[in-house]
């Protein structure tokens, strides 16, 4: 009796195991039919070939397709599949409809939009002498590095600032046509006439050509000394200046310049045309720009009064 009962129990367990295995196989087969692109919905039912840049799918027993990574179906046309590479397409960068901005293109430079790994960027090729210094593609190559419009803040290259002289210096900084920082002499107010004659940038425009006899009116223009005179430069014009207080141009004849002696000439004593007076019995003389006289032979000046000259005939009584 016990043997038959044990056999019955074993039989039941075997039957249960068979049923569970059958059930499992049935469930797996069903799941396969719903998700397998080669057995979609039923065994051996293969989903058709996927459109370009897409791959087949089987969901709930129905065939379909999905875009491969980096590709999108932007025109919603199943026939051409996932037609857009959003990794590189500047009109659909990263996602459909995301248009990358194009930098300003004009006579100063040419710009182009780029899309790299789904991120917008740009390239900008500037013409010689121009540059994109602010990094803003919307205004293109906005800076002139050389030429008449070159500025002191970006002279020759972006960010190169010309050094600025002190406010009271005789020069100001400038960027020349070749994109090189230079100093220009101030040409206004009290600085008019100053020039850089020694070409030493450390002292800027050191020479006042208004009065410098070696650079009169311009660097290297040397005045020639006048006869009986000295160098002179007035308002940038060479002029033969007479030695002050010693000689003068009394006849105004350029060829003989400072012809008149003012120290010892009784007819021009101290200044042109000043004639020393002639006292009685005396001869006027000029000594170092001062009028005096000498007595004529046989007369003496005993009282030392200039107005009566040599008032005594002969020698002074107390001599």
Q: pLDDT tens across 85-116, in order? A: 999 999 999 999 999 999 999 999 999 999 99
Instruction: Tell me what the pLDDT averaged over the chain comes to.
Output: 86
Same-domain pairing of 273 and 308: yes
pTM of the model: 0.49
- The answer to whether residue 301 scores a pLDDT higher than 50 is yes
Q: Establish if 26 belongs to a structural domain.
A: no
Residue 122 lies in a domain: yes
Domain that holds residue 72: 34-85
Distance CA 248, CA 240 (A): 10
Q: Evaluate whether residue 176 is within a structural domain.
A: yes
The verdict on residue 8 lying in a domain is no
pLDDT at residue 28 above 50? no
Question: Shortest CA distance to 181 belongs to which of 198, 165, 197?
Answer: 165
Specify the pLDDT at position 12.
46
Long-range contacts of 208-212 (CB under 8 A, 24+ apart): 209/233, 209/236, 210/234, 210/235, 210/236
Same domain (yes/no): 92, 50: no
Per-residue confidence (pLDDT) for residue 188, from 0 to 100 = 79
Residues 151 and 193 in one domain: yes
Q: Please check whether residue 80 lies inside any domain of the structure.
A: yes
Is residue 61 situated within a structural domain?
yes
**What is the tally of structural domains in the chain?**
5
User: In terms of domains, do 269 and 220 share one?
Assistant: no
Structural contact between residues 163 and 127, judged by C-beta atoms closer than 8 angstroms: no
Q: How far apart are CA 55 and CA 64, in angstroms?
A: 9
Mean pLDDT calculated for residue range 145-168: 91
Last residue of a domain, one of 159, 182, 202: 202
CA atoms of 162 and 145, how far apart (whole Å): 12
192 falls within a domain: yes
296 and 244, same domain (yes or no): no
272 and 312 assigned to the same domain:
yes
Q: Compute the C-alpha angle 254/257/258, nearest 5°.
A: 155
User: Per-residue pLDDT averaged across 16-37, rounded?
Assistant: 52
Quick check: is 181 in a domain? yes
> Is the per-residue pLDDT at 169 higher than 50?
yes
Rg over alpha carbons for the chain, rounded to the nearest Å, is 56
**Domain boundary residue among 144, 167, 194?**
144
In terms of Cα–Cα distance, which of 76, 50, 69, 168 is closest to 118? 69
Domain boundary among 144, 164, 190: 144
């Amino acid at each position: 009796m016990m043997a038959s009962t044990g056999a019955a129990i074993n039989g039941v367990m075997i039957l249960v195991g068979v049923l569970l295995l059958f059930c499992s196989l049935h469930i797996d087969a069903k799941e396969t039919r719903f998700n397998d692109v080669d057995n979609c919905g039923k065994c051996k039912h293969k989903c058709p070939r996927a459109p370009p840049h897409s791959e087949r799918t089987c969901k709930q027993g129905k065939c379909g397709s999905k875009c491969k990574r980096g590709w999108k179906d932007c025109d919603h046309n199943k026939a051409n599949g996932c037609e857009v590479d959003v990794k590189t397409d500047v009109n659909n960068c990263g996602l459909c409809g995301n248009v990358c901005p194009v930098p300003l293109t004009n006579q100063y430079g040419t710009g182009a939009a780029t899309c790299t790994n789904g991120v917008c960027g740009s390239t900008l090729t500037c013409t010689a002498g121009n540059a994109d210094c602010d990094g803003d593609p919307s205004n293109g190559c906005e800076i002139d590095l050389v030429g008449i419009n070159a500025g002191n803040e970006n002279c020759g290259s972006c960010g190169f600032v010309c050094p600025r002289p002190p406010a009271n210096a005789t020069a100001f900084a400038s960027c020349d046509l070749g994109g090189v920082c230079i100093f220009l002499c101030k040409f206004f107010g009290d600085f008019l006439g100053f020039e850089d004659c020694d070409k030493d940038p450390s002292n800027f425009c050191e020479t006042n050509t208004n009065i410098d006899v070696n650079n009169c009116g311009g660097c290297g223009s040397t005045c020639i000394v006048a006869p009986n005179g000295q160098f002179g430069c007035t308002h940038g014009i060479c002029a033969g200046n007479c030695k002050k207080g010693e000689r003068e141009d009394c006849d105004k004849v350029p060829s003989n310049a400072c012809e008149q002696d003012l120290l010892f000439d009784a007819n021009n004593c101290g200044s042109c045309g000043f004639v020393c007076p002639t006292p009685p019995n005396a001869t006027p003389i000029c000594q170092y720009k001062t009028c005096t006289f000498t007595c004529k032979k046989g007369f003496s000046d005993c009282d030392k009064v200039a107005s009566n000259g040599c008032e005594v005939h002969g020698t002074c009584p107390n001599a």
